[in-house]
Structure 1
Amino acid sequence: MENKLIYYIRKWTDITREKEADVYKAFETISVKKKQKLLIPGDTCKYIYFITQGALRSWFVDDKGVEHIYQIRLENGWISDLESFFSQRPSKYYIEALEDSKLLRISYERLEALYIQVPSLERYFRILFQKAYINALERLNSTMWESAVDRYNNMMKENKDIFQRVPLVYIASYLGITPESLSRIRKKRQV
């Protein structure tokens, strides 16, 4: 599992074989069952998770009791509430496993210590967090300016596998549409 993490770290920065051991020690391997919650609103997000196997989602519930999916992540992706993680303030989000999953997690304190032990990781995480910020902005912009069909098509291009593994009701929420609208879009694509 750790080899997947090192593979992705090496895509954006150099890390020596000796420093790989420091990275392995900083991360903790955990297994979670489907429907297990890793974060609930009101708790402070203590970890950033790298998914080596499985699928997770993060979401919040609005004042009307409606769930809004913020993130859906599969293998080789990261999931967390970065606002809560870095500010060490209570979260507004849930994080839940959609499948039995295997994760590598790192705490805020261990991440800060790892930056000192392996300085090149600051570059990796800076790039990772920049990409997360850009992704959040692109998602916000797409809900304002793109049609539901365009958002669906973009999701299909990025990761078709998600439609086989994640309930459509969650995908609809992530796209900002009703399940009925998603069904209509999918039906039109099949014709």
Structure 2
Amino acid sequence: MINSLACIYQHPLLSKANLDIIFSAHRRIKVSKNEFLLREGEVLNSYYVLESGLVRAFVHDFDNNEITTEFFVKNEIVIVPSSLFQRIPSKENLQAVTNAVLWKIEFDDFEKLFDQIEGFKDWGRLWFTFQLFSNKQRSLDMITETATNRYLKLMKEKPSIVKSAPLKQIASYLGITDSSLSRIRREILYNSKS
């Protein structure tokens, strides 16, 4: 428990006593492969810290194809911010790609802690800033980087996705077809042997 939660809630203004209170608001849960944490149309009432496994967010496009919008790996927060914080029905689904262990915190408990612990507010601002930066960078990469470079970046930054997620999910996340991703993987493998 301490490792995953400690990785997430790092901030100089959070004391050990603060962290003990924050950690105790979380409950450890296990989910099975393909199990949903959230379905489209539901309001997210909690968020999760991923201890192990792989979780994804996905939507259905206009042709009803599943498009993976995000992967969550170990020591990341599994969340759909718009649904949780605006209290609106989610357009995204959250689903376990593998068996997973998570630490769940209810929205009401989060709000109480946010009001009670000053350092928690600063941590939250920092986390949101990082998320905005990451999302902006991903949008830019989709426009400025080749599909091969996007895949290589994913391999480097989050190898557990490449190892554990089905090809179809990775391809939709990268904005390419399954066959294009298969070709890219073959080329990378061929070049690494040359």
| TM-score where L is the length of structure 2 | 0.92
2:150 matched residue in structure 1: 151
RMSD: 1.4
User: Is structure 2 residue 61 aligned with structure 1 residue 62?
Assistant: yes
2:9 and 2:19 in contact (8 A); partners too: no
User: Is structure 2 residue 26 aligned with structure 1 residue 13?
Assistant: no
Local SS of the residue matching 1:184: helix
The Cα shift of 1:119 comes to 1.5
State the distance in 2 between where 1:155 and 1:64 align: 26
1:69 and 1:170 in contact (8 A); partners too: yes
State the distance in 2 between where 1:122 and 1:47 align: 17
2:154 and 2:162 in contact (8 A); partners too: no
Per-residue Cα deviation, 1:154-180 (whole angstroms, up to 9, x for no partner): 112212232111111111111010110
The Cα shift of 1:98 comes to 1.0
The Cα shift of 1:105 comes to 1.7
1:161 matched residue in structure 2: 160
Local SS of the residue matching 2:9: helix
Give identity over the alignment, percent. 28
2:54 and 2:100 in contact (8 A); partners too: yes
Moved more, 66-75 or 161-170: 161-170
| TM-score where L is the length of structure 1 | 0.93
State the distance in 1 between where 2:99 and 2:168 align: 19
Per-residue Cα deviation, 1:56-75 (whole angstroms, up to 9, x for no partner): 00000012011111111111
Structure 1: which 5+ runs fail to align?
Answer: none
The Cα shift of 1:85 comes to 0.8
The Cα shift of 1:8 comes to 3.3
- Kindly report which structure 2 residues correspond to 1:21-60, keeping only aligned pairs within 5 A, or say none: 21-60=20-59
1:51 and 1:102 in contact (8 A); partners too: yes
1:22 and 1:117 in contact (8 A); partners too: no
1:59 and 1:95 in contact (8 A); partners too: yes
State the distance in 2 between where 1:47 and 1:32 align: 15
The Cα shift of 1:118 comes to 2.1
